[in-house]
């Protein structure tokens, strides 16, 4: 049975395509959308060599095109370790509202090797109306651990042609590092810092949490400001049974953020262990 992929003719008039795409970019994008390895989730395994053979470009050219899509266009990402390609806006243009495609999507998600790619597709799946409308349905949980390290690297592979990529690396597994958007990175780092300090399990993907963080970022606050607020309020509230319930995003990152950031730690606060005192002294909070 033949499989058909539909390409909207607006592709050729899209301002991003017209203004930013080179002829090689246009060909590569169409190839990624229509080659024989594509599937219902827009994430599939394909080697650099296979792309090179199909398109007639050498390996170095393919890697340079991938680099451009990852770091400039930010619409196609590639994991050189799992050899998986992910089209970030595939779901937007290829999924419909029918619940009939839920099972085929779930089936393909299970086959994704890259944890970051898999979790991004899970996030898109959980936003589907067919999932949200089923109140008794448990959405798919994310699969990377809370305790992770996130860092900046100059390369994704051994090739020097791929550069300046943000990577996400799990400290608890041997999973390879994958590219994540820089804004997404901030959400992840702030919430993981809060979870580590409080022992909680808040999700960086929560719409309310992301909205609060984004509002403060738009006001000019930095990632370090968020961490400072978390540190100060942990010292202030963590050992207070009445107040520790407020160590949550909706309280910490709301319209009182500025006052929390500028407060001095009260010497009368309950600081009853050496680790808390160490934090206070190191950060100059008293």
- Type and span of the H or E element at 267: none
One domain for residues 40 and 170: yes
Q: Is the pLDDT of residue 182 over 80?
A: no
The residue segments making up the domain with residue 43 are 9-180
pLDDT digits (tens, 9 = 90+) for 17-58: 999 999 999 999 999 999 999 999 999 999 999 999 999 999
pLDDT at 184: 79
Confidence of residue 270 (pLDDT cuts 50, 70, 90): very low
Model confidence at 282, pLDDT cuts 50, 70, 90, reads: low
Mean pLDDT calculated for residue range 100-125 = 90
Domain count for the chain: 2
* Chain centroid offset of residue 114 CA: 12
| Arithmetic mean of pLDDT, 210-216 | 94
Q: What are 168's strand-pairing partners?
A: 150, 178
Q: DSSP for 93-137? A: HH--S-GGGHHHHHHHHTT---HHHHHHHHHHHHTSHHHHT-TTP
What is the reported pLDDT for 275? Answer: 54
Is it the case that residue 152 has pLDDT exceeding 90? no
* pLDDT, average across residues 72-93: 92
Claim to verify: residue 169 and residue 69 sit in the same structural domain = yes
Give a yes or no: residue 67 inside a domain.
yes
Do 46 and 141 share a domain, yes or no? yes
> Is the Cβ–Cβ distance between 191 and 210 less than 8 Å?
no
Q: Is residue 120 scored above 60 in pLDDT?
A: yes
Query: Is the pLDDT confidence value at 85 over 80?
Result: yes
101 and 24 co-located in one domain: yes
222, with CB counted inside 10 A (0-12, 13-18, 19+), is exposed
pLDDT of 284 > 60? The answer is no
- Whether the per-residue pLDDT at 142 is higher than 60: the answer is no
Are 84 and 78 in contact by the 8 Å Cβ rule? The answer is yes
Q: Provide the pLDDT confidence category of residue 181 given band limits of 50, 70 and 90.
A: low
61 and 203 fall within a common domain: no
40 and 102 within one domain: yes
Rg (CA), the chain: 22
Is the residue at 4 inside a domain? no
């Amino acid at each position: 049975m033949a499989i058909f992929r539909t390409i909207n003719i607006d592709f050729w008039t899209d301002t991003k395509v017209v203004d930013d795409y080179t002829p090689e970019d246009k060909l590569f994008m169409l190839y990624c959308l229509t080659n024989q390895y594509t599937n219902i989730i827009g994430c599939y395994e394909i080697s650099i060599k296979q792309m090179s053979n199909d398109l007639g470009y050498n390996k170095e050219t393919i890697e340079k095109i991938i680099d451009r899509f990852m770091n400039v266009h930010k619409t196609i990402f590639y994991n050189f370790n799992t050899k998986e390609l992910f089209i970030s806006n595939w779901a937007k243009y290829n999924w419909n509202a029918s619940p009939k495609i839920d099972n085929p999507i779930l089936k393909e998600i299970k086959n994704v090797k890259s944890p970051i790619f898999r979790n991004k597709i899970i996030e898109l799946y959980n936003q589907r109306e067919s999932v949200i409308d089923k109140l008794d349905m448990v959405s798919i949980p994310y699969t990377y651990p809370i305790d992770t390290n996130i860092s900046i690297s100059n390369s994704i592979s051994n090739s020097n042609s791929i550069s300046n990529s943000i990577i996400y690396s799990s400290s608890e597994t041997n999973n390879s590092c994958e590219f994540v958007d820089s804004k997404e990175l901030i959400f992840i780092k702030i919430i993981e810092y809060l979870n580590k300090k409080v022992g909680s399990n808040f999700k960086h993907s929560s719409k309310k949490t992301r909205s609060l963080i984004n509002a403060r970022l738009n006001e000019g606050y930095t990632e370090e400001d968020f961490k400072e607020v978390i540190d100060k309020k942990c010292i202030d509230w963590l050992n207070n049974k009445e107040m520790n319930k407020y160590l949550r995003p909706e309280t910490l990152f709301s319209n009182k953020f500025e006052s929390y950031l500028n407060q001095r730690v009260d010497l009368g606060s309950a600081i009853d262990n050496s680790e808390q005192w160490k934090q206070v002294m190191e950060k100059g909070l008293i």
